[in-house]
Amino acid sequence: MIPLTYLLRFLEEDAPFGDVTSEAVIPEDLKAEAVIIAKQDGVIAGLEEAKALFEHFGVKVELKAKDGDEVKKGTVVIKLEGNARKILLVERTALNIMGRMSGIATQVRRLMEKVRAVNPNVRIAGTRKSLLKPLDKRAILLGGGESHRFSLSDAILIKDNHLALVPLEEAIKRAKAFSIYKVVEVEVERLEDALKAAKAGADVIMLDNMTPEQIEEVLEALKREGLRDRVKIEVSGGITPENIEEYATLDIDVISLGALTHSVKNFDVSLEITRRL
């Protein structure tokens, strides 16, 4: 689960000086019961994060589902009981977190289902194209995907701007010498560079913005040179839910999509007060 201190930042942003509406109209000691409901079918996520926030403010929480569960529209996923002001204070922050995480988890699960139907060995991964990485990465995992790098500190990924400064073979040589514990991945856009990267010892080759036909050419060339088994092949760029199956049929290992996190479609959840106590 995400650390509470991280989650509280969002609440502090939403209510820097308290919830003035609730403080103005709701009696201080009024208690209530409430539920959080899924308003659509999909994969629910962010329940543990919502629970941590509500409990921090003394609200009793009963989870009616687990993170990563498939839920139907109308499903009650959380029951709440406690101070009415506190429930409403946390409401929007909790729903925002759940909505974003569930949206990501649902999209990942649906893409995984498409991909695994044609190639059970291919994995789906997110990217660093997100400013809410702790939430987004956890949501990807709950959906059944891979998180890729969490940060610039996790693995070595040599991209085009690195190669604009240092030649490919030299960049890989320097990266391999830098640490024996870091995976070395290289992003390439041409067959020739993919072969160079494999021969130079890259652990993962990312084929960026290539068509399925171009990727097939690279794979065949790597096999001819006896290099395919030495490297993992990741494909990225230009991949959408509509064409992902074309890529999945290829002999690749990972499909990464920035759209999992930079273009999130929010999952609809709502909080409803069921009665005052």
Catalytic annotation, residues: 129
Helix/strand/coil (H/E/C) assignment for every residue in 2-66: CCHHHHHHHHHHHCECECHHHHHHCCCCCEEEEEEEECCCEECCCHHHHHHHHHHCCCEEEECCC
Beta strands in the chain (DSSP E): 31-38, 42-43, 60-63, 70-71, 76-83, 123-125, 156-158, 184-188, 204-208, 232-236, 254-256, 269-276
Cβ neighbours of 132 (radius 10 Å): 17
List all residues 6 or more positions away from 273 whose beta carbon is below 8 Å from its beta carbon: 32, 33, 34, 84, 87
Q: How far apart are CA 101 and CA 139, in angstroms?
A: 5
Radius of gyration, alpha carbons of the chain: 23
Cα separations (Å) of 203 from 95, 171, 256?
A: 40, 13, 16
CA atoms in the 13 A half-sphere facing the CB of 111: 31
Helix (H, G, I), strand (E, B) or coil at 104: helix
Cα separations (Å) of 217 from 186, 191, 205, 213?
A: 18, 7, 14, 6
Helix (H, G, I), strand (E, B) or coil at 176: helix
Amino acid making up residue 36:
I
